[in-house]
């Protein structure tokens, strides 16, 4: 039985060493070669001083080196931190500082963009560059080339002993305070998630899974995990246009594809003629619009469609079997294998069928909490009420903050979020994170960011701001600031300036809910 994250690769390498594990454009890597590269990298990282539990961050697009670095860090006993390649330098630096990253794997180009911000990352001692060009290291930093790691002799170091409850990864997701939260995942979380998803998707060794989502996204990372667990082939792709994905599916005979609703909406408009290889597709990160679902079903009549729900704090929670899609297309389904999902009232008691309540997830996929944030951890990870009398160790469950209902047959339906988080393009965005960029212009007196319904994005970001007197501020200036400091998926879809103070709630805070209600029809909303 598997216990540690790198064993996903090692097991498949033992069973079928010559099978292709990874494809990156024209590069093909067998399981035997991938296993060797991971072990060699782990050994080298150990010589660099990456100790058990220390963090290694990877700030790269999807490529062979990205995958090897992630698994190599885990094999060395370290904790990998995949950083979304779309993030700006200041956001990356915040993550590196927040979780005390010791080693950073990146490219020369990205390193040059990051370098001015790295001065605040006092724990960082080594940067590994995947390019062949050598850079002059800043004071206090050791620069190592990827080629140096791969060409060095096998050190055969004795690596630290790990167990499945140890930290394996930290995935950053936006938090309600405006700064990203680091969700800490154990080896058990990652391995169990791969096994569970592979079970209900019925992944096999002949599957060819296209990885188009960011590996910093738990949904994207799990495409690798399920492929490696079953001995299938993972195909890495950094696409520019949706039609590029379709071309790759045809060329590589892809059998499995995962995407979020906005991407599915774009893909559904393409001509899928002569695309016969897809055995299944999956959706998570928001509800798939019915029109998109209908278009995909018409275009791919022989392809199974899995509608799913997950949260980073529990990696994956529910899925709707393809046979139920026609009957209940708006459902999130039921709990995945190995997990239990409940609908609870505020007092912890179970809701009746049809009664709205909070989605609570228990089982081996429950993560280890938020990195270095005991208050948020205590709020989200709470013990369940004892199921029997007598002494017992309290079991922690994830209290999602999502309001759902369960029907008489046990199928779940999403109602909404209890907090102000914006969910757009599969990402969870903190309003404060956008507002901080607006305030940083020093041109506004007050501002609020919030999400409103959008037919393809799930939600679009709207910003309302009150300019300071005499500034001459206009929308274009704020849009330019957002473009400079925020990645594309965090750009506001609408900015409005007002001359009067924004509405407040009883506590004196700006009331985003009132503002959001005003803009409910700002974008054309699809009608079911």
Write the pLDDT tens digit of every residue in 194-203: 999 999 999 9
**pLDDT over 90 percentage in the chain:** 71
In a domain, 76, yes or no: yes
Taking residues 272-279, what's their average pLDDT? 93
Q: What is the pLDDT of residue 426?
A: 86
Q: What is the CATH number of the domain that holds 128?
A: 3.40.50.980
Overall number of domains in the chain: 2
Given 138, 159, 186, the domain boundary residue is 186
Taking residues 71-88, what's their average pLDDT? 95
Q: What is the pLDDT of residue 75?
A: 96
Taking residues 398-407, what's their average pLDDT? 92
Residues 340, 343, 346, 348: is their CA dihedral positive or negative? negative
Of residues 175 and 157, which shows the higher confidence score? 157
DSSP class of residue 198 equals H
Q: Is a pLDDT exceeding 90 seen at residue 185?
A: yes
In a domain, 131, yes or no: yes
8 A C-beta contact, residue 441 and residue 447? no
Given 164, 186, 208, the domain boundary residue is 186
Of residues 295 and 462, which shows the higher confidence score? 462
3-state secondary structure 50-88: CCCCCEEEEECCCCHHHHHHHHHHHHCCCEEEECCCCCC
Q: What is the CA radius of gyration of the chain?
A: 23
Q: Is a pLDDT exceeding 50 seen at residue 389?
A: no
In a domain, 433, yes or no: yes
8 A C-beta contact, residue 239 and residue 264? no
**pLDDT over 70 percentage in the chain:** 94
Taking residues 450-465, what's their average pLDDT? 93
Q: What is the CATH number of the domain that holds 489?
A: 3.30.300.30
Long-range CB pairs of 473-482 (<8 Å, 24+ gap) are 473/441, 473/443, 473/444, 473/497, 477/441, 477/443, 478/438, 478/441, 478/443, 478/444, 481/437, 481/438, 481/440, 481/441, 482/434, 482/437, 482/438
* Confidence at 403, pLDDT banded by 50, 70, 90: confident
* Confidence at 433, pLDDT banded by 50, 70, 90: confident
| Model confidence pLDDT, tens digit, residues 353-366 | 999 999 999 999 99
Residue numbers of the domain that contains 502: 422-518
Highest mean pLDDT among 21-35, 115-129, 259-273, 418-432: 21-35
In a domain, 273, yes or no: no
Q: What is the pLDDT of residue 527?
A: 45
């Amino acid at each position: 039985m598997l216990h540690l994250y790198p064993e996903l690769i090692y097991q498949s390498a033992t069973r079928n060493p010559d099978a292709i594990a990874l494809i990156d454009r024209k590069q093909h890597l067998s399981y035997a070669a991938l296993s060797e590269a991971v072990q060699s990298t782990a050994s080298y990282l150990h010589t660099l001083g990456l100790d058990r539990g220390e963090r290694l961050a990877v700030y790269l697009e999807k490529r062979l080196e990205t995958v090897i670095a992630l698994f190599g860090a885990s094999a060395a006993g370290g904790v990998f931190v995949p950083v979304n390649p779309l993030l700006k330098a200041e956001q990356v630096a915040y993550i590196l500082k927040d979780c005390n990253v010791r080693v950073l794997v990146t490219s020369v180009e990205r390193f040059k963009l990051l370098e001015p911000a790295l001065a605040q990352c006092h724990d960082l001692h080594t940067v590994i560059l995947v390019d062949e060009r050598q850079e002059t290291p800043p004071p206090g930093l050791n620069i190592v080339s990827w080629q140096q790691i791969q060409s060095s002799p096998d050190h055969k170091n004795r690596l630290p002993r790990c167990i499945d409850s140890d930290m394996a990864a930290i995935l950053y997701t936006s938090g309600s305070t405006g700064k990203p939260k680091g969700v800490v995942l154990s080896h058990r979380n990652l391995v169990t998630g791969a096994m569970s998803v592979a079970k209900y998707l019925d992944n096999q060794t002949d599957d060819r899974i296209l990885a188009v989502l960011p590996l910093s996204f738990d949904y994207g990372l799990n495409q690798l995990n399920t492929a490696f667990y079953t001995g299938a082939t993972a195909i890495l792709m950094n696409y520019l246009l949706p039609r590029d994905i379709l071309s790759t599916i045809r060329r590589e005979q892809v059998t499995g594809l995962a995407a979020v609703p906005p991407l599915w909406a774009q893909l559904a408009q393409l001509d899928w003629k002569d695309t016969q290889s897809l055995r299944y597709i999956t959706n998570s990160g928001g509800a798939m619009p019915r029109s998109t679902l209908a278009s995909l079903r018409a275009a791919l009549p022989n392809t199974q469609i899995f509608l799913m729900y997950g949260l980073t704090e529990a990696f994956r929670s529910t899925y709707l079997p393809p046979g139920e899609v026609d009957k209940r297309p708006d459902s999130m389904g039921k709990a995945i294998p190995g997990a239990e999902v409940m609908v609870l009232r505020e007092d912890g008691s179970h809701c009746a069928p049809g009664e709205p309540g909070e989605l609570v997830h228990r089982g081996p996929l429950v993560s280890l909490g938020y990195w270095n944030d005991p208050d948020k951890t205590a709020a989200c990870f709470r013990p369940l009420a004892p199921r029997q009398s007598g002494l017992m160790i309290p079991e922690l469950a994830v209290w999602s903050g999502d309001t759902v209902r369960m029907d008489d047959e046990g199928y779940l339906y999403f109602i909404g979020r209890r907090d102000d988080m914006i969910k757009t393009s599969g990402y969870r965005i903190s309003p404060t994170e956008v507002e901080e960029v607006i305030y940083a212009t020093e041109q506004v007196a007050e501002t609020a960011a919030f999400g409103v319904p959008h037919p393809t994005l799930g939600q679009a970001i709207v910003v309302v701001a009150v300019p300071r007197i005499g500034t001459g501020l206009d929308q274009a200036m704020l849009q330019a600031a957002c473009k400079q400091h925020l990645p594309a998926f965090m750009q506001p879809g609408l900015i409005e300036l007002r001359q009067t103070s924004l509405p407040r709630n009883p506590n004196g805070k700006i009331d985003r809910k009132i503002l959001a209600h005003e803009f409910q029809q700002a974008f054309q909303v699809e009608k079911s």
